[in-house]
Amino acid sequence: MYRIALTLFLLGAGCASTPKVPGQALYFALQVRHEGKLVAKPKFLGETGKVARVERRHPGAALPDYDLVVQPTPRGDRYQIIIDLSLPEVSAHSELAVLHGEVRQVELGHKPGELQLELMMMRVDSPEFRTLMELSERSEAIETPRSI
């Protein structure tokens, strides 16, 4: 009886002390086209194992311009990305596997050209991400007028 209680205690303590694996921070840049027209261009941070929701709504509008739900999960050297996208006219669901830094174009609509998604995802801790952010800062500095 004593051995059973000790074994259960040790198993419970081992489970309780197992460190939680932190999620990996990811950067997403998307472009959404509806019937060829660019309707959304969100850029946001997410985390593996967590749902990221992005919505754009004009003040006072009953419906959002778009509602995007992204859930990334690491799968070896790739990431399994679950995407749910809703526009006032159409909604879609897709699952795709992407590599770090890969740009993927996906047809989400019922017919070709109806709803297209371009997705790029990078790990935030990567040299490629840091380079992208440096290039963005440089381009903003060039475009920002300086006062005299």
Query: Nearest-CA neighbor of 73 among 93, 46, 35?
Result: 46
Q: Of the candidates 26, 32, 36, which has an alpha carbon nearest to the alpha carbon of residue 92?
A: 32
pLDDT tens for each residue of 8-47? 444 454 454 444 557 899 999 999 999 999 999 999 999 9
Q: Please report where in the chains the tokens 């995007």 appear, as a residue.
A: 68
Evaluate if pTM is beyond 0.85: no
Average pLDDT score over residue span 71-83: 95
Q: What pLDDT, on a 0 to 100 scale, did the predictor assign at position 4?
A: 46
Distance CA 135, CA 16 (A): 44
Please report the pLDDT score of residue 135 as a whole number.
76
E-state strands within the chain:
25-34, 37-40, 43-47, 52-56, 66-75, 78-86, 91-99, 103-107, 115-123
Specify the range with the lowest mean pLDDT, choosing from 11-15, 44-48, 68-72, 87-91: 11-15
From 39-43, 58-62, 131-135, the region with the lowest mean pLDDT: 131-135
DSSP-based three-state secondary structure for 100: coil
pLDDT of residue 39: 94
Whether pLDDT at 5 is above 60: no
CA angle in degrees (0–180, nearest 5) for 32-105-113? 60
Q: What is the pLDDT of residue 145?
A: 59
Predicted local distance difference test score (pLDDT) of residue 18: 44
